[in-house]
Amino acid sequence: MGRTPHCYMLLLPLLLLAACSSDGFKMVAQSHSIAYRFDPDPKALLLSVPPSCAAVPAEAPSAPGYSALTSMAFHSALVKQKHGETVLDAGIAASRITKAGLADDWHALAISYRDSGVMDNERLGKIGKALGVRYILVPTLAGVTTNFGPRLDFLGLTLGRTFWTTVDIALQLWDTSSGDLVWQSTASCTAAAEVVVATRVSMRTAMESSFLLMIDDLVQGRSESVMTAEVPAAKVSGDVVK
């Protein structure tokens, strides 16, 4: 009995090494898109000079605290995809709406959109004029689920965990002049990583991946897509995938 603690001390480094040798980061995303009009040309729309399209502040009805993160993830996806380089950022859009004295109109428009899924045509037109664009992209975080499971237990101590995050995203393109819903897409992304420390998979990574897929669907005219990614453990640090 007196040797037991010493044996545990010898085993612990080996168990820690086993916990570190994870499979890394894995992700799968799928999207479904539909176009209601075949104009404008998406490539021209997202790269037009001067800008003819703006990203408005994101909606996150099920998790209001994540609206800013959703907007940032969408902006990052536009930049990384090399599309949308002239699309007005949501931050610029918010500033222009405020300066035009349309904060109340935007609030009412966002509430009606959140509740009914449609845009009030009069308010939509006002917002478009304030932004100086004809089209707006509306990103929405529909839902998010995070969870974890133990990977290796030793004497009641969890030495490694698998964390995963699932996000459900929507993206719509509206014509502020006519009030038409031009195009829309939904996507779901699940990202998982095996880690030793108590961290979790980045929600922004999952959202950004979903937006990347949907933007590419818009540009390429696809109705559905599936994307998978796998990163070795050596390249995964905490919740940041490099």
Q: Are 32 and 186 spatial neighbours (Cβ–Cβ below 8 Å)? A: yes
Q: What's the whole-model pTM score?
A: 0.80
For the chain (242 residues), the mean pLDDT of every run of 10, in chain order, is 42 38 73 94 91 95 87 92 85 96 95 91 96 97 81 54 86 96 96 65 85 94 90 44 31
The topology (CATH level 3) of 24-241 is Rossmann fold (3.40.50)
Q: Is 27 left (phi over 0), alpha (psi -120 to 50) or beta?
A: beta
- In angstroms, the CA 155 to CA 119 distance is 57
Omega before residue 61 within 30° of 0, cis: no
**Closest C-alpha to 179, from 114, 111, 116, 127:** 127
